[in-house]
Amino acid sequence: MTDTSQLKVLIVHGPNLNMLGKRETEIYGSTTLAEIDEGLKRQGADAEIMVETFQSNYEGAIVEKIQQAFMEDINGIVINPAALTHTSISIRDALLLLKAPVIEIHLSNIYKRESFRHKSMIAGVVAAQISGLGVMGYTLALEGIIKLVKKTRT
Ligand code: DQA
């Protein structure tokens, strides 16, 4: 049997995602970040995976969180770097520290929006990207990362 007792996944949310529910609701919907995080923790508990959530409006804080996750041997990361997706080489470099799988998620379809959103700095270093499925994207990203994590443990 697969030993999943210690498995831990980190969910990282970038700038302005703390404003979900208030922010451009026609694009991002009305669900708040607290509701998303609560759903992901429940989903993790059902799969016997510990889910930690983290949000910051600061690039350096996100880099430090990823470094900390690396030091703690995290089993997987789901990340929505928000606007930093399109600019942050330092988040990309931090993710390159990890052996653990990473899934990138965006609520909106970044390829259907302004051209400056079409480029993701991290897409080339992640296992997969989900873009445009709204909150369902987080659920699917967590499901995917759990499968990848458990596969490496089997
Ligand atoms: C986003 C897309 C980004 O372009 C934007 O800056 C965000 C949210 C999304 O989830 O659709 O803040 O990452």
User: What ranges do the domains of the chain cover?
Assistant: 8-153
Q: What is the pTM of this model?
A: 0.95
DSSP letter at 153?
H
Beta bridge partners of 53: 11
> Does 47 score more than 90 pLDDT?
yes
Tokens for 3, please give them. Answer: 């030993």
Q: Which atom of ligand 1 is nearest to the CA of 131?
A: 11
Give me ligand 1 centre to Cα 82, in Å. Answer: 4
**Binning pLDDT at 50, 70 and 90, where does residue 3 land?**
low
Choose, from 106, 111, 118, 138, the residue flagged as catalytic: 106
In the prediction, which pLDDT does 152 show? 79
In the prediction, which pLDDT does 1 show? 47
User: Does residue 9 contact residue 77 with C-beta atoms inside 8 Å?
Assistant: yes
Average confidence (pLDDT) over 7-32: 97
- Tell me the per-residue pLDDT of 50-96, one tens digit each, with 9 for 90 and over: 999 999 999 999 999 999 999 999 999 999 999 999 999 999 999 99
Give me ligand 1 centre to Cα 128, in Å. Answer: 16
- Tell me the per-residue pLDDT of 107-151, one tens digit each, with 9 for 90 and over: 999 999 999 999 999 999 999 999 999 999 999 999 999 999 998
In the prediction, which pLDDT does 90 show? 98
Q: Please report which residue ranges of the chain form alpha helices under DSSP H.
A: 25-28, 33-46, 59-71, 89-95, 135-153
In the prediction, which pLDDT does 153 show? 74
Give me ligand 1 centre to Cα 29, in Å. Answer: 12
Q: Whose CA is nearest to atom 8 of ligand 1?
A: 82
The class of domain 8-153 in CATH terms is: alpha beta
Which residue, chain included where needed, has tokens 């993790």? 44
